[in-house]
């Protein structure tokens, strides 16, 4: 018996010209979630996230009420504090790091690869790049380029280890990247020593690499923003435009290049990729390297724009935040940007909750609720839309004519 969802004639051959061609192929839920697949209709694309955010807001208010706090006043306090000028600067700077981290994760997600090692990749890349930048003095812009390129190379090479292990020995990238995170932590702890690549800061117990000279630093964007009439009290990362460029390049490469096509096909089906001439094993390594290269950039805004050294106080954990931001943003550059701003806002306003007797840890719960709600709603809406399309196909085949074409004709 033939499948009613298959437009191919029973005797074989090509499907009829009027057969529907836009029915999504079944994709496992975990792959659909990782690859950011969701509804295709414009109304559902807008309605799904709005519904998810409303649900998550309702759950958050219930959680706040359970803790004994007034949900309305708590959220109002967060909004008031998060919209001050100082907070806005910090939110933008946090979001810049979160955005780069999420894009690095999203590159792997597009191929259904779980690069859990972004955290280790960016930390070891930032550390070695900081040590190199502090040891060599070059005129601008070569000093900045040296540090940035070094970080990209180190991040790509560190991620390549997991890719090579997967295609040669069959080691899951989840296990290998988790172990590489631990190895990166150990390597940094060993080298971040006053007898090796670091020095003790006078008057403190902090250990850091040599400071990057003035010629190797990136100035803030405040001068440019002032020319636009925006006078901000704090310094906005000068590498914010770099994060924007990374997002644009990511979107163009994934959607409009052969590499992006090969990456997505390999993620959907290695056998189908092989049949179409794509080396799926090689694409795994290439994808991991590309993810690691972007991961190497995560620490650059902070290193070249604020700290100018890698110390014990250098931001950690950004790679894991990038996973949740990428899931929330559906692996889309615009969605990732909004998700990064939302997470940065929640992190920035967590301290003010203590003033209204709410534990700041509730923010972590809020972030988890938002991500889970968005992921679940998107997946449910995606499945619902696929069922509707499959029913339409079955109806067209049963009646022997194209219902969509007939509806269009009657409308005209």
pLDDT one-digit tens code per residue, 310-338: 999 999 899 999 999 998 898 999 999 99
Q: Please enumerate in sequence order all residues whose Cβ is within 8 A of that of 316, keeping only pairs 6 or more positions apart, or say none.
A: 119, 123
Asked if 181 and 120 touch (Cβ cutoff 8 Å), the reply is yes
What mean pLDDT is reported for the chain?
86
Q: How far apart are CA 280 and CA 255, in angstroms?
A: 18
Q: Model confidence over 44-93: pLDDT tens digits?
A: 777 888 888 889 889 988 988 888 888 888 889 999 999 999 999 999 99
In degrees and rounded to multiples of 5, residue 138 shows phi and psi of -125, 155
pLDDT of residue 410: 54
Which regions of 325-383 does DSSP assign to beta strands (E)? none
Residue given tokens 């085949």 in the structure block: 397
Q: What is the pLDDT of residue 20?
A: 43
Largest CA distance in the chain: 84
Most confidently modeled of 47-56, 97-106, 217-226, 387-396? 97-106
Please compute the mean of the pLDDT values over residues 160-177 and round it to a whole number.
96
Q: Tell me what pLDDT residue 352 has.
A: 87
The model's pTM is 0.86
Nearest residue to 169 via CA among 286, 35, 285, 293? 285
Q: What's the rounded Cα separation, in Å, for the pair 128 and 24?
A: 45
Establish whether the linkage from the previous residue to 22 is cis, with ω within 30° of 0. Answer: no
**95, 125, 242, 282, 284 from 298: Cα distances, Å:** 11, 9, 10, 25, 22
Share of the chain above pLDDT 90, in %: 55
Which residue's structure tokens are 């609720």?
Answer: 369
Which residues, in sequence order, are CB contacts of 148 under 8 Å at separation 6+?
Answer: 129, 297, 300, 304
**Rounded percentage of the chain residues whose pLDDT exceeds 70:** 90
- Give the long-range contacts of residues 242-246, CB within 8 A, separation 24 or more: 242/297, 242/300, 242/301, 243/96, 243/99, 243/100, 243/297, 243/301, 246/100, 246/103, 246/294, 246/297
Which range among 24-38, 46-60, 64-78, 106-120 shows the weakest confidence by mean pLDDT? 24-38
Q: Give 215-236 pLDDT, tens digit per residue.
A: 999 999 999 999 988 888 989 9
- Closest by CA position to 329, among listed 101, 112, 121: 101
Higher pLDDT, 296 or 412: 296
Do strands 199-200 and 207-208 pair parallel, antiparallel, or not at all (unpaired)?
antiparallel
CA distance linking residue 151 with residue 293, whole number of Å: 8
Neighbours of 79 (CB within 10 A): 12
Q: How far apart are alpha carbons 79 and 91 in whole angstroms?
A: 12
Residue 50 is predicted with a pLDDT of: 83
Enumerate residues 6+ apart whose C-beta is below 8 A from 52: 370, 373, 374, 376, 377, 378
pLDDT computed for residue 21 by the predictor: 44
More confident residue, 377 or 245: 245
Instruction: Give the model's pLDDT for residue 270.
Output: 78
Instruction: Specify the higher pLDDT residue, 270 or 99.
Output: 99
70-218+239-352: in CATH 3.90.550: no
pLDDT (average), residues 106-128: 94
As given in the structure block, the two tokens for residue 47 are 């309605």
pLDDT of residue 18: 46
pLDDT at 348 over 60: yes
Predicted confidence at residue 409, as pLDDT, reads 57
Average pLDDT on 23-39 reads: 67
| Beta carbons within 8 Å of 388's beta carbon, 6+ residues apart | none
Query: Domain segments of the chain: what residues?
Result: 70-218+239-352
The pLDDT of residue 51 is 86
Range with the largest mean pLDDT of 110-114, 145-149, 331-335: 145-149
Residues shown for the chain: 412
Report whether 201 contacts 192 (CB < 8 A): no
Arithmetic mean of pLDDT, 90-99: 97
The phi-psi region of residue 80 (left if phi > 0; otherwise alpha if psi is between -120 and 50; otherwise beta) is alpha
Structure tokens of 120? Answer: 């280790």
pLDDT by residue (tens digit) across 239-298?
999 999 999 999 999 999 999 989 988 887 778 788 888 898 999 999 999 999 999 999
Lowest mean pLDDT among 24-38, 73-87, 183-197, 305-319: 24-38
């Amino acid at each position: 018996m033939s499948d009613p969802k298959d437009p191919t004639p029973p005797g074989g051959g090509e499907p009829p010209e009027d057969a529907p061609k836009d029915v999504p192929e079944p994709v496992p839920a975990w792959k659909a979630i990782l690859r950011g697949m969701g509804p295709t209709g414009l109304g559902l694309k807008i309605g799904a996230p709005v519904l998810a955010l409303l649900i998550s807001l309702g759950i958050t208010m219930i959680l706040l009420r359970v803790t004994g706090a007034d949900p309305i006043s708590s959220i109002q306090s967060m909004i008031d504090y998060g919209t001050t000028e100082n907070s806005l600067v910090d939110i933008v700077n946090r979001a810049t790091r979160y955005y780069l981290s999420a894009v690095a994760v999203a590159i792997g997600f597009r191929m259904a690869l779980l690069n859990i090692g972004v955290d280790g990749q960016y930390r070891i890349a930032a550390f070695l790049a900081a040590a190199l930048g502090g040891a060599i003095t070059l005129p601008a812009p070569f000093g900045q380029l040296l540090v940035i390129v070094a970080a990209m190379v180190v991040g790509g090479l560190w991620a390549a280890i997991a890719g090579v292990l997967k295609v040669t020995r069959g080691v899951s990238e989840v296990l290998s990247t988790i172990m590489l995170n631990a190895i990166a932590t150990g390597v940094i702890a060993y080298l971040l020593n006053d007898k090796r690549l670091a020095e003790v800061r006078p008057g403190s117990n902090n250990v850091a690499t040599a400071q990057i000279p003035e010629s190797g630093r990136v100035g803030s964007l405040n001068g440019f923003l002032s020319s636009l009439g925006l006078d901000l009290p704090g310094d906005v990362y000068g590498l914010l435009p770099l994060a924007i460029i990374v997002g644009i390049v990511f979107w163009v490469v994934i959607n409009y290049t052969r590499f992006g096509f090969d990456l997505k096909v390999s993620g959907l089906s290695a056998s189908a990729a092989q049949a179409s001439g794509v080396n799926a094993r090689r694409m795994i390594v290439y994808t991991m390297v590309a993810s690691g290269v972007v991961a190497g950039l995560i620490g650059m805004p902070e290193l070249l724009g604020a700290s100018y050294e890698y110390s014990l106080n250098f931001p950690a954990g950004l790679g894991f935040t990038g996973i949740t931001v990428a899931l929330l943003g559906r692996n889309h550059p615009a969605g990732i940007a909004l998700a990064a701003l939302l997470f940065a806002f929640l992190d920035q306003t967590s301290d003010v909750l203590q003033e209204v007797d709410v534990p700041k840890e509730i923010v972590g719960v809020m972030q988890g609720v938002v991500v889970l709600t968005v992921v679940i709603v998107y997946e449910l809406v995606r499945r619902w839309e696929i069922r509707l399309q499959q029913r339409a196909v079955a109806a067209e085949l049963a009646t022997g004519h194209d219902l969509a074409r007939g509806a269009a004709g009657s409308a005209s």
